[in-house]
Every structure is written in C-alpha cells, then in structure tokens.
Amino acid sequence: MTKEELLKQIHCKTDEERQKAEFYLEMKGVAFHKAILDYLCQEENKTIPIEWSDLSNELRSDKALRDILYKYLATLEEYIRAYISNKYEDTATQQDFWIDTSRYDYNKIKNQLMSGKPLFKTLEDVDFGTLIKQVKSLPEIDKHELFYGVGTDENLDAVKELRNAVSHHKFLKLYKFKDCNVDGIDSDSLIANIQNLRQLLPSLYRFGENGMGGLTGDLCNIEVVI
C-alpha cells in the first residue's frame, strides 16, 4: 500500500492534521500505520475512514506505555547488575558459572574477568540478553534472592522479549510476546508480560512506598491497570 492509498483511509479534519499524517507516515512508515489502522477497525470497532485523531491518540498511548516500561526495564537491569556485583565482586575469578559463549568479546563475561576487568564494569558493558543469560547460570539461591522464586527461565525469556519490543519501538498491542507465568497462570498477553516485569522488580519499584506508586502507579496515570 502506498502513502496516498493509506491517506484515503484516514480522515483529517484540518490541513494541519493532514500535514501531520503525511509527516508521520514518512517518519514511521506506511505499513506501521496500516497495522494500527487495522487494529482500530478490528479491536476497537472503528470504521474507515479512521479519524487521524484516533490514530494519533493510539500512537501517543503506545509511546507513553513504552516510556514507562523502558524506565522499569532499565531499573531491573540495574538491579541485576548490582546484585551480582555486590555478591561476587571480590571473588569473581573464583566462580565457575560465568558465561563466555557470545560472538562478541564484550559479552564474554568469563574472558573479561580473567583478563583483569572488574566485575561491575564487565556487567555494565554487556547487553541485556547476555545479562539475562548470565542470570540463568547463577546458583539457584541467587535467583531466588533476586526474584523471590519467580525468576524462571520462562519468565526471564519473556522479560527479555518485552525489552526487545520496547527498545525497538514496536506497537505493543500487536506484538507477539512470549509466555510467562504470573500467579500460576501462563499467558503471552501484553498485560501478563507487564505483570511479569513487575513481579521481577524489587518490591519498592512494584508498588512504591505507599502501595500506590512504582510501576503500578505510573501505569495507572496513563489508565493502564495491571
């Protein structure tokens, strides 16, 4: 579908809206907007032509959600690095669970440590996928202390996939997530994957100090209830 063909399926009330529509179709792509338009028709019962305001509102909501998730995914990443470093910084070269299977040197944790690089600096330089892979190789007691018993391989793989979707600016309502387990229920839904992120975070970041903050509170501010 061309930009002109898609624009025929979008109703712009003003010339300014038309200019914005043309601009964002150039910036984010025709196929991207067509997918959201189809979502609005199928899931929200909108009819063609779709109002540009409805389409742009969906884009703003998606960005607001991604911005919040990115902040807490970064918090999770920092928490994991800090836990491992705090526990093993002084005995890093004595441990036998470090991974070194990546094709990229900076992700070969074992090799970096053996070359004399400090543990925290080594962990700071690896990507999130490698960090999750390292967590899987930690002793079970560490995973339990980190994640209160919910740090299964399934849940760790799911949060890695969530981060990929957020980092690559995917439209989250249409993204195919991985299964995770929250409260004994397996699901690959967006909400379940957000709940999985929440259960992997330290308690203060889940609900805040007063039980109404943290990830849960930030999502409530944009009318996302988990």
| pLDDT tens sequence across 161-180 | 999 999 999 999 999 999 99
What is d(CA 147, CA 123) in angstroms, rounded to the nearest whole number? 18
| Domain-located, residue 8 | yes
| Domain-located, residue 17 | yes
At 35 the pLDDT is 92
Q: Do both 44 and 77 map to the same domain?
A: no
At 151 the pLDDT is 96
| Domain-located, residue 212 | yes
| Domain-located, residue 169 | yes
Q: Do both 66 and 34 map to the same domain?
A: no
Give percent of the chain above pLDDT 90: 88
**Model-level pTM?**
0.92
What average pLDDT score do residues 17-46 get?
93
What average pLDDT score do residues 104-132 get?
91
Q: Do both 173 and 196 map to the same domain?
A: yes
Q: Do both 194 and 99 map to the same domain?
A: yes
Q: Which residues of 75-85 are buried (b: 16+ CB within 10 A; e: fewer)?
A: bbbebbbebbb
What is d(CA 98, CA 32) in angstroms, rounded to the nearest whole number? 40
What is d(CA 98, CA 110) in angstroms, rounded to the nearest whole number? 5
What is d(CA 219, CA 31) in angstroms, rounded to the nearest whole number? 28
Q: How many domains does the chain have?
A: 2
Q: Do both 86 and 151 map to the same domain?
A: yes
User: Under a CB-based contact definition with an 8 Å cutoff, are residues 177 and 187 in contact?
Assistant: no
At 149 the pLDDT is 92
User: Under a CB-based contact definition with an 8 Å cutoff, are residues 17 and 50 in contact?
Assistant: no
Task: Please write the tens of the pLDDT for every residue from 39-83.
Answer: 999 988 899 999 999 999 999 999 999 999 999 999 999 999 999
Q: Do both 181 and 136 map to the same domain?
A: yes
Q: Do both 140 and 34 map to the same domain?
A: no
Res. 217 pLDDT band, cuts 50 70 90: very high
- Would you say residue 104 has pLDDT above 80? no
Q: Supply the angle between the helices 52-88 and 30-43 in degrees, to the nearest 10.
A: 100
| Domain-located, residue 141 | yes
Partners of 10 in beta bridges: 50
Q: Do both 20 and 117 map to the same domain?
A: no
At 26 the pLDDT is 94
Main-chain dihedrals φ then ψ at residue 97, nearest 5 degrees: -110, 10
Q: Burial, 176: exposed, middle or buried (Cβ in 10 Å; 0-12, 13-18, 19+)?
A: exposed
Q: Do both 15 and 86 map to the same domain?
A: no
The residue segments making up the domain with residue 31 are: 3-48
What rounded mean pLDDT belongs to the chain?
Answer: 94
Q: Do both 26 and 75 map to the same domain?
A: no
At 33 the pLDDT is 95
Q: Do both 160 and 129 map to the same domain?
A: yes
At 102 the pLDDT is 74
- DSSP secondary-structure letter at 93? G
